[in-house]
Amino acid sequence: MIKEWVCGKPRLWRDRPTALPFCPGCQHSVGVRTVLETIEELGLEGKTIFLGGGGCVYPIPTMLDLDGMQCPQGRASSIGSALKRIHGREAIIIVYQDDNDGLAVGTEPLIHAALRGDPVTVIMANNASYGSTGWQMAPAGNQIIPPEMEKPNPSIPINIIELLAEFEGVSYLARGTVSSPEDFEDTKRYVRTAIQKQIAGAGFNLVEILLACPTRWHLTPRESLKWIREEMAGKLPLGEFKGGGGI
């Protein structure tokens, strides 16, 4: 049920200086916004616990007016599972981690949270920043890392949605971008569906958001959006992959 439409900066963003501000052109704040607007619209701020992973997303929980935790790198999914078991329906657990945190260091926690079917919502902010997911795939990878580094193994991003799709405990998987207002609305819709699945206790759900990282990619913000559209989305297709179409 939508309590109110959100305009302007979400209420849940606190206005305070932070030790680690974002780079110009970073899209993490937009990714988090999809979550915050949804939480405000569904009236869930009193129940939400926001878990942040390591890396660039580390300071995010401090910026939000929600119960939150800054988790050791990779372990946010495990911590989220545990919190859900303690609080059950009384809490909405959101895990926000980047691809290095979730798919490299945090492979084990993520896969096992999905196997256990714990009804938590993981937002995978994939900005190809590091890691087997796509560092080598990102444009900077080709510029600063010589091709020899690729040998003897090619570099292929991990498609976490493909991996998790057949787990029985997983109820919803989707991937979107925030490169344009339409993309933002699509992704926000995926996030809402994911959270509604959690409310219904329907099992593990994950929304992957492809985000720009102009700093690491050595591209301008505009070029980064182009890169996401043309290269990343080609290898990691967008849309709903399991449990789509609402509950």
Partner 1 sequence: MEQAVTRKKVAGTPRLRFPIKSPIASCQGCLHPLAGRILAEVIEELDIGGDTILVGGVGCHATIGGHLNLDVLLPGAAHGRAPDVATGVKRILGKRAILITIQGDGDAMAIGTEPLIQAAARGEKITVIMINNQVYGTTGGQLAPTTVMGHKTTTTPQGRKLEDGYPVHSAELLAKLKGVVYSARGALTSVRNFQRTKKYVKRAIQKQMDDLGFSFVEILGNCPVAWRLSPVDSIKYIEEKLIPEFPLGEFKDIKEVTN
Partner 2 sequence: MEQKILARGFEAIGWGALAADCQLFAGCPTSPEDEIFTYLAQEFPKNGRHFVRASSEVSAINIAYGSTSAGGRVMVVVASAGWGLIQETMSHLVNAFLPVVVVLIQRGGPGAGSLRHAQMDYLPITRDAGQGNYRVISLAPSSVQETYDLMQLAFHLADKWRNPVIVATDTIIIRMMEPLTLKTIKLGPPLPEKDWIVKGKEHQTDGIRRFISSGQGFIPTRDFSTYLHFLKGLNEKVLRMRETEARYESYELEDAEIVLVAYGYSARVCQEALMMARAEGIKAGLMRPVTLWPFPGDVLKKKALKGAKFLTVEDGLEGLREDVMLAVEGQAEIEWVNVLDRNESGAGGAIYPGKVLEKMRKLLKGKVKVIKKGR
Whether residue 152 has a cis bond before it, omega within 30° of 0: yes
- The first and second tokens of residue 93, run together, are 């657990």
The sign of the dihedral angle between the CA atoms of 163, 169, 172, 176 is negative
Selected from 23, 69, 104, 111, the binder of partner 2 by CB under 8 A is 104
Write the interaction track for partner 2 spanning residues 28-57; mark x where CB under 8 A is met and - where it is not.
Answer: --------------------------x---
Residue 21 CB, nearest distance to partner 2 (Å)? 14
Burial of 155 (0-12, 13-18, 19+ CB in 10 A): middle
Selected from 62, 73, 142, 196, the binder of partner 2 by CB under 8 A is 73
Picked from partner 1, partner 2, none, the partner binding residue 168 (CB below 5 to 8 A depending on kind) is: partner 1
Q: Which residues pair with 124 in a beta bridge?
A: 97, 208
Task: Kindly state whether residue 165 participates in binding partner 2, applying the rule CB under 8 A.
Answer: no
Picked from partner 1, partner 2, none, the partner binding residue 169 (CB below 5 to 8 A depending on kind) is: partner 1
Picked from partner 2, partner 1, none, the partner binding residue 130 (CB below 5 to 8 A depending on kind) is: partner 2
For residue 180, give every residue at least 6 positions away whose Cβ sits within 8 Å of its Cβ, in sequence order, or none. none
Grouping H, G, I as helix, E, B as strand and the rest as coil, residue 93 is strand
Binding site for partner 1 (CB under 8 A): 104-105, 107-108, 111-112, 115-117, 132, 152-156, 158-159, 162-163, 166-169, 235
- The first and second tokens of residue 54, run together, are 């390591």
The sign of the dihedral angle between the CA atoms of 44, 187, 27, 101 is positive
Residues of this chain that bind partner 2 (CB under 8 A): 54, 58, 70, 72-74, 100, 104-105, 107, 130-132, 135, 144-146, 148-149
